[in-house]
């Protein structure tokens, strides 16, 4: 009888261990994906800043500089759960790890969204300038907000 209780407790312990490993794994994978995507965006923006296209204005340079800074912050926030994991491992409290990692990822989403907006803004400015003319390129500021507005609306009505 004692052996049955012992084996049941061991199985429950293994399930708890598997859940903890799964939680660690999912948080670290999420952070890794966000870091990778943000790093690729940083590379594209850095390439544009080094090899500026013909007709790049001071306004475009400022937009590019702000987007480079904001994606740098986003990458730093997204990589923090991985760094935090390696500094603090092994954890005694998985919930504390998940809460802190969630905060880092939430803080990184703001500069990531700013970068996405500014990158879309630059692309729209160039395409409107080349396609229609410089008169309408300022509509790109409004057009670049549309995808974010739609995502916000869909998020609010997701039920």
pLDDT digits (tens, 9 = 90+) for 13-24: 555 455 555 666
The pLDDT tens digits for 86-98 are: 776 666 677 777 7
Q: Give the tens place of pLDDT for each residue, 26-80.
A: 777 888 888 888 999 999 999 988 988 887 888 888 999 999 999 999 999 888 8
Domain ranges of the chain: 2-156
pLDDT tier at 101, thresholds 50, 70, 90: confident
Q: What is the pLDDT of residue 91?
A: 66
Kindly report the three-state secondary structure assignment for every residue of the chain: CHHHHHHHHHHHHHHHHHHHHHHHHHHHHHHHHHHHHHHHHHHHHHHHHHCCCCCCCHHHHHHHHHHHHHHHHHHHHHHHHHHHHHHHCCCCCHHHHHHHHHHHHHHHHHHHHHHHHHHHHHHHHHHHHHHCCHHHHHHHHHHCCHHHHHHHHHHHCCC
| Structure confidence at residue 68 (pLDDT) | 93
Between 1 and 78, whose confidence is greater? 78
Q: What is the pLDDT of residue 111?
A: 92
């Amino acid at each position: 009888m004692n052996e049955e209780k012992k084996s049941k407790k061991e199985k429950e312990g293994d399930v708890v261990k598997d859940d903890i490993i799964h939680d660690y794994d999912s948080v670290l994978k999420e952070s890794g994906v966000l870091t990778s995507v943000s790093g690729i965006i940083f590379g594209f923006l850095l390439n544009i800043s080094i090899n500026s296209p013909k007709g790049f204005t001071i306004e475009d340079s400022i937009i590019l500089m702000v987007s480079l800074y904001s994606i740098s912050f986003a990458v730093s926030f997204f990589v923090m759960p991985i760094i935090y994991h390696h500094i603090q491992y092994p954890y005694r409290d998985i919930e504390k790890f998940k809460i802190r990692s969630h905060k880092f990822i939430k803080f990184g989403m703001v500069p990531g969204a700013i970068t996405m907006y500014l990158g879309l803004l630059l692309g729209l400015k160039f395409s409107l300038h080349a396609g229609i003319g410089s008169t309408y390129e300022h509509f790109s500021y409004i057009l670049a907000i549309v995808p974010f507005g739609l995502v916000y609306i869909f998020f609010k009505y997701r039920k």
